[in-house]
Amino acid sequence: MALLLGLTGNWGKQGTGTRSWAISGLDGGSFMRQKGRPGQDAAREWVTNLAKARRMLTADDPTLTLEMVTYRAAQMAAELGGLGRMIPPAFLWYYQYGYKERWNNPDNNDPSMKRTFDEYLNESIDRGWWDSGLAKTYREVVPRVLFEAGGNMLRRQRGGQRLLLDKLWPDLKMIVSVDFRMNTTGMYSDYILPAAQHYEKMGNSMPSVHHLNFVLIDQAVDPPEDVLNDYDIGIGLVRKIEERAAAREMLQFTDRNGVQHDLRDITNKLSMDGFLLDEERRMDETIKDDAAYGILPPDSSLDVARQKGAIRWTGWGLVGHGLGQASTIKPDETHNPFRWHTEDKMPYPTLTRRAQFYIDHEWFLEAGEEFPVHKEPPGHGGPARQFKMTSGHNRWSIHSMNMTNNILLNTHRGEPFMFINNRDAEAKGIENGEWVRVISDVGSMQITAKISPSVRPGQVIVYNGFEPYMHREWYSQADVEPGHVKWLGLVGGYGHLQYRPLQWQPVPADRAVHVDVEKVS
């Protein structure tokens, strides 16, 4: 798609172009701790120092643009153990979740793959494309505690709960789920910390480049007595850690990077001596800091947001998602990415500093993918099976948090269902609404059939969002998805193809899984 638009000169123009969903405008909350004290003077000092640090990166290479410097700074932060000391999840999946066998199964990979997945993964680590300390951590360290907030991994992890419950759960000493409802992961947790629902706390809608607005979500009702918002849950845990550390006279600890951390007075340090404990004050400070960082107009505040509901952005701020759009935000004008490149002729943040499609990396050359090329889906799920299962973004759930809502259940059949072509259903003696079993090499699920002539013969469609406990046997579509990743996702050491937290890591595929369908007697 990007190549077609590039060849026809349709980047950075009104009414056309390529764009992606990206989060931006989160600087006020993200850098609250780094600025050190309340007030916008502290925010301005922080951004000034950050700008100085980024300018230092251009000392050795003055050709670096602000966009490139932002990416490089994020990469360096990861290398130095910053950004929350994030570890690419792919290595956790591979070493601890049980995916090693699946990813090394030739049926799950492209036939053009010349070596085993193991060989590619080990080479990527040995050559330092993924910081060896990060990549090897989960090979040597077995997880003991799973603390999940907003994830519901037993529903959404490609490969499904069967794999996780068999491989991961036995090693865990404690599973904690933070949620406002009982989901599938919560059913398999030791503790559920009840969190406030969206309208029981203050917040904002996802700040996306699609609409360029900060949209306030004000608190409509008080949460139930035993329910806390996310921030207060976090502070409560920190306060208890501090208390227990003092009781054990454990005043410091050393992390895996050899860095010492003080466990004294950490609650006050995180909350700016209690300043951030008040929800309204915390939101007001966030909005005012966003103004100080240039994202919102100078007079922005919680009061202004309550009056207007939405405040349009005036700039991108400090982080890469926004600056990666490479366009100036203009008042009352539709946003189009890449205008810095197409109009101002700024170089692209690629190896060649051009809009680069040819990737002369040895792995890409070996795979025959040095240029964008069509390849048929791999045989994951079992290449000899009759159907290919695809998915979609259904209009009546979007996310699983809405799937069990009674009102939304009334907009469809109220239970999980699978679209199947009418002729395929007739050949198998399947009637509309009957239960069927969907089978792949890695698992199966039971689901009802919804017959539709608009479905391609040989295809079945299961929309995203159904909770596993809505199915018979509690297995869902994730349990028939092998959850493989493409080996080229492990490439590094090549210009713009480098690991950066939140922006680059292999992603499991869930499209065109080979399955069989049989009627449940």
The pLDDT score that the predictor gives to residue 82 is 56
pLDDT tens sequence across 319-349: 778 888 999 999 888 889 999 999 999 999 9
* Length in residues, the chain: 521
Which residue carries 């330092």 as its tokens?
128
Q: What average pLDDT does this structure show over 258-279?
A: 94
Residue 79 pLDDT greater than 70, yes or no? no
Instruction: Provide the token pair at 347.
Output: 């170089």
Q: How confident is the model at residue 132 (pLDDT cuts 50, 70, 90)?
A: low
The pLDDT score that the predictor gives to residue 210 is 86
Residue 172 pLDDT greater than 90, yes or no? yes
- DSSP percent split of the chain into helix, strand, coil, nearest 5: 35, 15, 50
The pLDDT score that the predictor gives to residue 382 is 95
Check if the beta carbon of residue 141 is closer than 8 Å to that of residue 453. Answer: no
Q: What average pLDDT does this structure show over 507-521?
A: 91
Q: What average pLDDT does this structure show over 144-154?
A: 92
Residue 136 pLDDT greater than 80, yes or no? no
The pLDDT score that the predictor gives to residue 85 is 61
The pLDDT score that the predictor gives to residue 84 is 53
Residue 350, exposed/middle/buried by CB under 10 A (0-12, 13-18, 19+)? middle
**Percent of the chain scoring above 70 in pLDDT:** 96
Residue 304 pLDDT greater than 80, yes or no? yes
Q: How confident is the model at residue 45 (pLDDT cuts 50, 70, 90)?
A: very high
Q: What average pLDDT does this structure show over 179-191?
A: 94
Pick left, alpha or beta for residue 345 (phi over 0 → left; psi -120 to 50 → alpha; otherwise beta): left
Residue 60 pLDDT greater than 80, yes or no? no
Instruction: Quote the CA–CA distance of 453 and 432 in Å, as a whole number.
Output: 12
User: Helix (H, G, I), strand (E, B), or coil: what is residue 203?
Assistant: strand
Q: What would the 3-class secondary structure string for 399-463 be?
A: CHHHHCCHHHHCCCCCCCEEEECHHHHHHCCCCCCCEEEEECCCCEEEEEEEECCCCCCCEEECC
Residues 6 or more apart whose Cβ sits within 8 Å of residue 429: 519
Q: How confident is the model at residue 231 (pLDDT cuts 50, 70, 90)?
A: very high
**DSSP letter for each residue of 117-131:** HHHHHHHHHHTTSS-
Better pLDDT: 370 or 511: 370
Q: For strands 435-439 and 444-451, give the pairing.
A: antiparallel
The pLDDT score that the predictor gives to residue 81 is 57
Residue 77 pLDDT greater than 90, yes or no? no
Ranges 129-138, 225-234, 247-256, 292-301: which has the least confidence: 129-138
Q: What average pLDDT does this structure show over 354-382?
A: 95
Better pLDDT: 272 or 395: 272
**What are the φ and ψ backbone dihedral angles of 337, each rounded to 5 degrees?**
-65, 160
For the chain, give the mean pLDDT.
90
What one-letter code names the amino acid at 493? G
Instruction: Provide the token pair at 493.
Output: 């050491």
Ranges 129-138, 163-172, 419-428: which has the least confidence: 129-138
Local structure of residue 52 (DSSP, 8 states): H
Whole-Å CA distances, 301 to 97, 284, 315, 398, 402? 45, 6, 16, 31, 31
Ranges 108-112, 137-141, 155-159, 173-177: which has the least confidence: 137-141
Residue 75 pLDDT greater than 80, yes or no? no
Q: What average pLDDT does this structure show over 281-300?
A: 96
**Percent of the chain scoring above 90 in pLDDT:** 66
Instruction: Provide the token pair at 128.
Output: 């330092």
Residue 286 pLDDT greater than 90, yes or no? yes
Residues 6 or more apart whose Cβ sits within 8 Å of residue 123: none
The pLDDT score that the predictor gives to residue 263 is 95
The pLDDT score that the predictor gives to residue 113 is 94
Pick left, alpha or beta for residue 296 (phi over 0 → left; psi -120 to 50 → alpha; otherwise beta): beta
Q: What average pLDDT does this structure show over 222-247?
A: 96
Residue 436, exposed/middle/buried by CB under 10 A (0-12, 13-18, 19+)? buried
- Domains of the chain, start order: 387-519 (2.40.40.20)
Residue 497 pLDDT greater than 80, yes or no? yes
Ranges 3-7, 117-121, 278-282: which has the least confidence: 3-7
